[in-house]
Chain A
Amino acid sequence: MGEKITFWYGCNVLRHGDIVHSCLDILKRLGYDAQPAGGPDYCCGSSKDANQQAADGMARRTVGRFNQIGRERVVAWCPSCHSHMTEFMGRAYQPDFGLGYFVDLLHDNLAALKPLLVHAVPMRVMLHRHVGFNDRVAVNDKVPELLRAIPGVEVVEDDYKAPGYMCSLLNAVPQAMTDMFRETVEHAKARGADAVVCIFHQCYRELLGLDAAGEVEVFNYVQLIARSMGLAHVDEYKQWKRAGKDAAAAIGEARVAQVGVQFFERAMLPELVKRPVGLAARNKKDPGGTPFDA
């Protein structure tokens, strides 16, 4: 086994079990010994701007935990975690590890990755890009290179970049979110793209509203790499999102009971039902239909 790393997957990607498991399989196939770490106990605290006492405690705890794990490199999946470690946590609390980013790791291993991409994925895709984060990690250039290594994938050229560094922050500025949805659909259709491919899971979660509303199919780039490698992890979140208000049935009674029916209905179902404003009504087959307005 090769380099021992900590794979810091973050918090919110836990919605997408297929992405987490695919990343770990890819790391293994590339020869890495990856220790996964994430969830609330490894939170970066970037969502705690209004409570710096809590953010401080989280930064101290998470840097301390990674120091205790003792691996020389932490490879982040989440751009928020990566940015917060770079800008705040790692400057306040001394890390005993280097920080990397998953896209960089894959790109650095492109020669080793290519022979693993054996299955064709015939698809003309448009990459969903943002203005931010790209100066830290050149994701807007590197992810298309990764995608073009997949047999059958064609990446169309497009100049649209959404503001911010990922979509979920746009939730605080509803008009910006609405504009992003509209621009994304217009550009994808103008370019004749079969699908929109996201770099970050936060964007994937938001743009799945377009997929569920029948506007354009949406993937995360790791899902296409996994498909080409023959990894068979099922994207259940997409199934749940497409099921909309019938998501509980799609998940199954026993599994919903495991998280609590009331909690599921109050805190999980709303995001599965949510659809971009003005688009839900265009697809009569869509069982979701709650316009995005918050």
Chain B
Amino acid sequence: MAERPVLASALREFLKGETERILGACTLCGKCVEVCPMTRYSLPTQGADPKTVVTGIHALLRGEQAGAPDALGWASVCVRSESCVPACPENVNPMMMVRIARMSASGGLGGKKQITLREDRDLYDRVRAFAKLNLTDEEIRNWM
């Protein structure tokens, strides 16, 4: 296997590059909002102008700290249906756009926390506990 340098923060760098690409490619047409099956579950997003919602998403991508409620609402209810991806005329990948906006709005990229995502503090301990119930000691040693 070839040795090569691995940048410790390559994911952060990738997200930065994706953000720049999205902000450059998106024309704020709002088609991604129009086709989303989840907007009806966000009160501030219901009935909002799709172009305005995407404008708010762009602000989150730029790291602006006072997010618009309709954009924060949309980012909060995104469950990655991907209906927006084929709807985008600019091949932006709006699902990626909203995902990065969600990371930003939840403080995941270091900024202010504007939305709260579900955090399961027991996630990994619970997985290990179920593994103890379902796998042999040897399987745990060799598979995990």
Listed in ascending order, the chain A residues whose CB lies under 8 Å from chain B are 9, 11-12, 14-17, 20, 36-43, 47-52, 55-56, 59-60, 64, 67, 70, 83, 87-89, 91-94, 96, 130-133, 135, 163-165, 169-173, 175-176, 236, 251, 255, 258-260, 263-264, 266-268
Contact = CB atoms under 8 A, between A and B. Distances in A.
B14 to A, nearest CB: 4
B80 interface: yes
Contact of B124 (A11, A165, A176, A236): A11
Interface stretch (B25-33, B49-57, B61-69, B100-108): B100-108
B134 A15 contact: yes
Interface string B1-24: 100101011111111000000000
Interface of B: 1, 4, 6, 8-15, 37-38, 41, 76-77, 79-83, 85-86, 96, 99, 102-103, 106-110, 113, 117-120, 122-135, 139, 142-144
Contacts of B37: 131, 163
A164 B82 CA distance: 7
A267 B11 contact: no
Nearest to A43: B124
A41 B144 CA distance: 7
A240 B107 CA distance: 37
6 contacts: A14-B131, A17-B134, A59-B11, A170-B79, A173-B79, A267-B129
Given A131-B82, A176-B38, A56 B12 contact: yes
A93 B11 contact: yes
| Interface of chain A: mostly helix, strand, loop or mixed | helix
Nearest to B75: A49
Contact of B117 (A49, A83, A92, A267): A49
A49 B106 contact: yes
Contacts of B9: 56
A267 B133 contact: no
A42 B122 CA distance: 17
Given A37-B143, A39-B144, A173-B41, A60 B79 contact: no
B114 to A, nearest CB: 11
Contacts of B106: 49-50
B79 A251 contact: no
B129 A268 contact: yes
A208 to B, nearest CB: 14
Contacts of A131: 37, 81-83
Contact of B12 (A40, A48, A52, A236): A52
